[in-house]
Amino acid sequence: MVFFLITPVLKLILGTAPSQLFFTMLEEEVLQSILLTVRCGLGATAFAIVFGTPLAYLLARFDFRGKSLLQSFIDLPLVIPHSSAGIALLLVFGRKFFVGKIFDRIGITFVGTEWGIMVAMAFVSAPFYINVVREGISSIDPRLEKVARTLGASPSKVFFKITLPLSWRSILTGAVTMWARSISEFGAVVILAYHPMTAPVLIFDRFESFGLSYAKPAAALILIVSFVIFLLVRITFKNARSERS
Amino acid sequence: MLVLKEVKTSAGTFRLGPISFEMKREYLIILGPSGAGKSILLEVIAGFRKSEGKIFLNGTEITHYPPEKRRIGFLMQDPLLFPHKNVIENIKFGAKTGDISYLIQKLKISPFANREVRSLSGGEKQRVALARALACNPHLLLLDEPFSWLDRETKEIIETEVKSISEELNLPVIHVTHNFEEAFSLGDRVIILKDGKIVQDGTPEEIIKSPANEFVAKFTGNPNVYAGTLLLEGEKTFFVHENLKFFMGRGINLKEGGCKIAICPQDLIISPFPFESKDRENVMEGVISSLSFMGNFYRVVIEGKLKITAFLSPQEVKRENITPSTKVFVIIPPEAIRVIERI
């Protein structure tokens, strides 16, 4: 299994000459693409933190009619082809549907913009965040929240003073997982916003237009950048956890 | 003062109530077996469970108040300290005043006041949980078997402290337990709950002397419940069980007929020597079949024409030289016999 997982990565990196990597790094188009991907991934993750955390809390703490159905809808992006997700998003956020029209009035358009990339990333990756945070909140003893209420804390104070501080680990894990999934998204992004090009779209574009040898350095560079960022986040997370314990 | 009027609620198929009682500034025990609805009742009072009926606290109706508006402290079975806060931060979480020094000193928290909560022992954790609840200056304190998992010594120390603090602060307490010994040693008043309903409400002494029914008698440790018939002979009232006849008193306002009686184990007199009783019917001969030390008294089972249990002090056991398998005489004073159910 380890061989299966590591070999393609090593083959891509080691099969690319360092000089090719260096020159690719200096390419404005590649750099802008990487920055755009990271930025949009962060935007999508921020969106999920703000709106997904209360939803995760709702799912973790309350039983209500239609909860299973809601949970299924949340998980749907995990199982549908992402190109289908892209088309569905295009139908909603395009200018012909009222949602797209409303945003268009305030100057936000989604087709071929960073907003569109963020929406596509958020749609396909948010389930990762919501599910991890929901599990994290479920693991907190609800009686802690009850006790806080008897100590005079309102539900919102309980959420911010008890639930949120106790679930920061799952929020961080969910955010990192979601961000990682976001930056690798291709199917939904390419339909909603081929341009500006995110890193996965850029690699596809070069492969389609110029062939494997031209796409390979960009793919290797993006893989290295993603790996380094992911590694740094994990090390920081691990240090924070060991300090805490 | 807490007043419950016709309070009802349900949890699945379980129905609690209707429950009505008033409590003053006292230490009230809710006693009952598992599944009686004790914890559900506390959840209703604390505001965590919707209910029908009305609840008043100090004259204000709080039936529809959320828990944070009720000023009711709640100590659950587990201390439930906030793990991301240290001891002081836990106590100060909902403190109404900045000065918590009285509680820290009274509950002997100073030695571990700045520690992380995960490093505390069970007893220390419950002290902090208690201080945290009291720091909010509650009008009522609810205790849901909070000390049941502590070792006996720590449990007794903390329970004594809780009682003493509640008296000092003039704070009414409702303490839920399934342990009748704990209930009778701590409570000013005991309410016994069974299947979601109150079966008896009284002082510990009243409940021991006059259990409301066979369930209460047996649940509170009295196995001496017998079915038989009441018989009136002139002014005298007798209880007839199989071929035994016990004198219950003169001029008692009881009708003849089937009934169950309870004989209070604490009121029995035992001696290895025959003694003269003015009511000779109530003297029984038997052999001690078991003698167990229960911590502060002896549980003595005597088997003769009737199998009966007596609770004797260690002094009585020593004085009367009571040992297993010895022949003894039991006198059942008429005032020890109570009719608990008509059948």
Average of per-residue pLDDT across B248-272: 88
* pLDDT tier for residue A244 given thresholds of 50, 70 and 90: low
User: Are the Cβ atoms of B94 and A166 closer than 8 angstroms?
Assistant: no
Q: What is the pLDDT of residue B279?
A: 55
Provide, as residue numbers in chain A, all residues whose Cβ is less than 8 Å from the Cβ of B46. 150
A241 touching chain B per CB within 8 A: no
Among A181-195, B95-109, B284-298, the least confident range: B95-109
Per residue in B110-121, pLDDT (tens digit) is 999 999 999 999
What angle do helix axes A28-61 and A114-138 make, rounded to 10 degrees? 40
Do you find a cis peptide bond into B83, omega within 30 degrees of 0? Answer: no
Task: Name which of B35, B33, B41, B1 is nearest B17 in CA terms.
Answer: B41
Residues in B touching A162 (Cβ below 8 Å): 82
Q: Are B27 and B207 in contact (CB under 8 A)?
A: no
CB B134 within 8 A of CB B90: no
Q: Which of A110-124, B38-52, B280-294 has the lowest mean pLDDT?
A: B280-294
**Chain B interface mutation, best of A141, A146, A150, A244, highest count of B Cβ atoms under 10 Å:** A150
Contact (CB<8Å) A141/B73: no
Mean per-residue pLDDT of chain A: 91
CATH architecture label of A42-196: Orthogonal Bundle (1.10)
pTM of the model as a whole:
0.81
Determine, for residues B72 and A141 on separate chains, whether the beta-carbon distance falls below 8 Å: no
Q: CA of B69: which chain A residue's CA is closest? A: A152
Asked if B80 lies within 8 A of A166 by C-beta distance, the reply is no
The C-alpha of A47 sits at a distance from chain B's nearest C-alpha, in angstroms, of 26
Output DSSP code: residue B280. Answer: G
User: Is residue A24 scored above 60 in pLDDT?
Assistant: yes
Higher pLDDT, B70 or B272: B70
Give the pLDDT of residue B96.
75
Asked if residue B33 has pLDDT above 80, the reply is: yes
Give the other-Cβ count within 10 Å of A29's Cβ: 13
> Is residue A118 exposed (0-12), middle (13-18) or buried (19+ Cβ within 10 Å)?
buried
| A149 touching B (Cβ < 8 Å) | yes
Q: What are the chain B neighbours of A144 within 8 Å (beta carbons)?
A: 80, 82
ipTM score above 0.90: no
Residues 86-145 of B with CB under 8 A from A: 93-94, 96, 132-133, 136
| Sheet of B307-312, strand order | B269-271, B327-331, B283-293, B298-304, B307-312
Q: Where are the domains of chain A?
A: 42-196, 197-245
pLDDT band at B100 (very low <50, low <70, confident <90, very high): confident
Return d(Cα A127, Cα A55) in angstroms, integer.
Answer: 11
Q: Do the Cβ atoms of A151 and B84 come within 8 Å?
A: no
Q: Which residue has the tokens 């070792």?
A: B151
Q: How far is B54 from chain A (nearest CA, A)?
A: 19
Radius of gyration of chain B (CA): 24
Chain B residues whose CB is inside 8 A of the A149 CB are: 47-48, 66-68
**Closest residue in chain B to residue A152, using alpha carbons only:** B68
Contact A150 B74 (CB under 8 A): yes
B155 pLDDT higher than 90 = no
pLDDT at A124 over 80: yes
User: What average pLDDT does range B38-53 have in this prediction?
Assistant: 95
Pairing of strands B14-23, B60-61: unpaired
Nearest to B55 by CA among B84, B21, B24: B21
Chain A residue numbers with beta carbons less than 8 Å from the beta carbon of B96 are: 152
Pick the CATH number of B2-219 from 3.40.50.300, 3.40.50.1100, 3.30.2320.50, 1.10.760.10: 3.40.50.300
Nearest to A147 among B71, B74, B83 (CB): B74
Query: Is B133 in Cβ contact with A144 (below 8 Å)?
Result: no
**pLDDT tens track for A52-99:** 999 999 999 999 999 999 999 999 998 899 999 999 999 999 988 999
Q: Which of A157-166, B248-257, B288-297 is modeled with the greatest confidence? A: A157-166
Q: What band does B52 get if pLDDT is binned at 50, 70 and 90? A: very high
- Chain A CA closest to residue B129: A147
Highest mean pLDDT among A151-155, B153-157, B166-170, B273-277: A151-155
Please indicate whether, in this complex, the C-beta atoms of B68 and A150 are within 8 angstroms of each other: yes
Q: Between these two residues, B180 and B74, which has the higher pLDDT value? A: B74
Q: Sorting pLDDT into bands at 50, 70 and 90, what band is A9?
A: confident
Candidates A139, A151, A160, partner chain B, best to mutate (most B CBs within 10 A): A151
Answer whether A147 touches B (CB < 8 Å).
yes
Q: Looking at residues A173-187, what average pLDDT do you find?
A: 92
Structure tokens at B327: 């022949």
Joined together, the tokens standing for residue B92 give: 């100060």
Closest CA of chain B from A44, distance in Å: 29
Hey, which residues does B239 pair with through a beta bridge?
B230, B246
Which fold, B225-342? OB fold (Dihydrolipoamide Acetyltransferase, E2P) (2.40.50)
How near does any CA of chain B get to the CA of A19, in Å?
Answer: 50
